[in-house]
Structure 1
């Protein structure tokens, strides 16, 4: 008598699924790899269903032509896969562009041929040390194009800043962290590499006297309301340019920050979500800003009448004389020219935001209030950026206490 055939428990393409001795479940199957070959991948889970779903998701992506990074992938192939299939869906476009530039210029040339599974902390540390010491003009072939630097035997020593090296390291950590989450790597070796924390970028905010001079000069400028709002509230450039009249309640004296206007490579001038969730906020408007915004509205209404059919009804608070969005780069140029006309030293537009926070701190405003006004995600960000101001205020407080206690200098 012929024994009946055992019923098949797995469908074609489902892969192998079994329970390990440690109680966890493991599944394996073939998928399209980043190097266009077929690779066997393994996934793990606490239940059979969870593990099967993980493998099914990878196989489904593979069947749609999306390559899956595996532990056998080269670092360069994996980074390309991660940028195009993972990071592109999670990052703002401009951030993704910066990541892609970092990968193209530094990570792929330095680590691209190594197998991701064999990448060690020593490899990464050696790579970062070499990156710090290498002239980037020579490394990127700019010397050959321009017939200068190393190609003529006179190296310009154009090295990356410590901040940029730290950024390269953070991009690599983010990519490898995804490999860990996908069970392709047991641990993120980039986390075992410690880099020296770069010094905070130096900035020189406006003093109280300079801020008063700034506001006086701005009164006759077409963008007076924008400059005043920037200095008195600390809004970011993109947040200011993305403000709609519907976001303002001039009777209640409030503004709702909901978006940011940015120029992207593919979309041009685009309204994007605020930088972080905490950046989406409602702030109180100073009385002076309410007055200047009302005057600005009257001016804009006159510009609408003058432009007639050429007017674009964008609803933006700050626009061109025909109602179109203001380009952030154009605002930067206008701001620079304004500072020159006002007889003020050159600062970045973003330094108005630093000036707001510094002046508020010097007036004794609580750090939590400043954090909420600026829209920082964590108070640690606020405290870290303005640590130098807090240290000076501590010294002033100690001196004031000494004066109250009758301390005197020794004769």
Structure 2
């Protein structure tokens, strides 16, 4: 390593180092006004190339992306990147990884938790938890694979909440009132029928093709998901391996799907039945709510509505989870307040058993 003054009075640095893959790099950089500037640039480059924790947070996020992105769906990474760039990077950008303290994380949390932090509104508890988890993921990655010590997240508490305080959903009567307003739009009507009566995800519905339906057996195969990425339609694997499943459909829904497909012979076996955008669905939902007078909910809340319907019909968490492509523990935890209480029945059974002795 050498910092030297050039003939024109400026300073240069010339050195060799190894990158994070062990490859040797020869670097020469000229034009610095002072020796200190040249030395600082050299130190920063070596920290970045070798992934030492002297590198900045911004530089480490590039390393994190290199390591993590190949393991994620493109849409998932885009969501993470949007969150990192918008909510984390502005605060931590110029911090050196080794200099991030627990109190820095607390102060960052406090800024996001302030009333009005979201353009005059407050962020939801679940969104705050999601952003917090993303920062933790970056710092934990640095600690696990690149020697960050101490890990500043260890002594901090998470902000926000894992689950929303209240789930929004429609009762069956509310949905039927809403769907009546869509009957003059067959494609939109069938899209919402499938969402409500099967509980599949919006992306799963938008990826459906005629070949996914077995109308004779009244089944629907879910094995892909639709996303709009970089201005292009992309069909990917579903959210999780558990999401690949076959759903049994009610006869009236089979009849509706069969009637629609018979009226559209131009739709090939592997063509998308619903060449719609998520924006189009959201706009149709808002219009239907306005016309029917039912409360406004999100499209994803139709999935909650389906779960609520099945719970009221007496189905178990295990059966519902299998239909939705979830783990049963997730259903039990998230929808526990919707399941009928069995405490009275337990007490009565125990009381009866106690009298037998």
Q: Same fold (TM over 0.5)?
A: yes
Using a 3 Å threshold, how does the CA distance of structure 1 residues 86 and 267 change in structure 2: closer, same or farther? farther
Matched, 1:185 2:148: yes
Whole-Å separation in 2 of the counterparts to 1:164 and 1:351: 16
Which of 65, 73, 76 lines up with 1:95 in the alignment?
76
Tell me the equivalent position of 1:398: 344
Higher relative contact order (CA 8 A, sep 6+): 2
Partner of residue 330 from structure 2, selected from 376, 381, 385 = 381
Q: Is the 8 A contact 1:335 1:349 kept in 2?
A: yes
SS at match of 1:195: coil
**Cα distance in structure 2, aligned partners of 1:291 and 1:29:** 63
CA RMSD, aligned part only?
3.3
Matched with 1:334 is 284
- Relative to structure 1, the CA distance from residue 135 to residue 75 in structure 2 (aligned partners, 3 Å threshold; closer, same or farther) is farther
Q: Is there any run of 5+ residues in structure 1 with no aligned partner, and where?
A: 1-12, 16-26, 42-66, 138-155, 305-311, 320-324, 406-411
Q: Does 1:78 align with 2:60?
A: yes
Q: CA deviation at 1:234?
A: 0.2
Q: Deviations over 1:95-143 (max 9, x none)?
A: 3233223222332222222221232323222321233238547xxxxxx
Distance in 1, matches of 2:204 and 2:335, equals 21
Please give the secondary structure, in 1, of the residue aligned with 2:186.
coil
Contact 2:213 2:220 in 1 (8 A): yes
Relative to structure 1, the CA distance from residue 215 to residue 287 in structure 2 (aligned partners, 3 Å threshold; closer, same or farther) is farther
8 Å contact from structure 2 (residues 204, 225) kept in 1: yes
Q: In structure 2, do the counterparts of structure 1 residues 339 and 182 end up closer, same or farther at CA, with 3 Å as the change threshold? A: same
Give the one of 246, 249, 265 matched to 2:214. 249
Q: Does 1:165 pair with 2:128?
A: yes
- Give the equivalent residue in structure 2 for 1:315: 270
2: CA distance between counterparts of 1:117 and 1:355?
A: 47
Shift of 1:400: 11
Task: Tell me, yes or no, if the aligned pair for 1:31 and 1:68 is still in contact at 8 Å.
Answer: no
What SS does the aligned partner of 1:300 have? coil
Deviations, residues 56-110 of structure 1 (Å, cap 9, x unaligned): xxxxxxxxxxx55321111222123323x23332333333233223222332222
State the 1:244 CA deviation: 1.2
- Residue 186 (structure 1) shift: 4.4
1:351-383 Cα offsets, whole Å, 9 max, x none, are: 21111100111111010111111112x323212
Partners of 1:235 and 1:353 within 8 A in 2: yes
SS at match of 1:190: coil
Q: 2:157 aligns with which of 185, 194, 197?
A: 194
**Cross-structure match for 1:348:** 298
- Alignment partners' CA distance in 2, 1:361 and 1:256: 23
Report the secondary structure of 2:221's partner residue: strand
In the other structure, the counterpart of 1:229 is 194
Superposed, which structure 2 residues align to 1:51-62 within 5 Å? none
Report the counterpart of residue 145 of structure 1 in structure 2: none
Q: Paired residues, what number? A: 316
Q: Residues 219, 162 of structure 1: CA spacing in aligned structure 2 closer, same or farther, 3 A cutoff?
A: closer
The residue aligned with 1:52 is none
Q: Which residue of 2 aligns with 1:240?
A: 205
Structure 2 residue runs of 5 or longer lacking an equivalent are 1-15, 28-40, 352-357
Aligned to 1:150: none
Give 1:388 shift.
2.1
Give the deviation of 1:157 after TM superposition.
4.9
1:246-287 CA distance string (max 9 Å, x none) = 1111112211111111112x2522112211111121111221
Q: Would you say 1:203 and 2:167 are equivalent positions?
A: yes
- Could you tell me whether the CA contact under 8 Å between 1:31 and 1:39 is conserved in 2? no
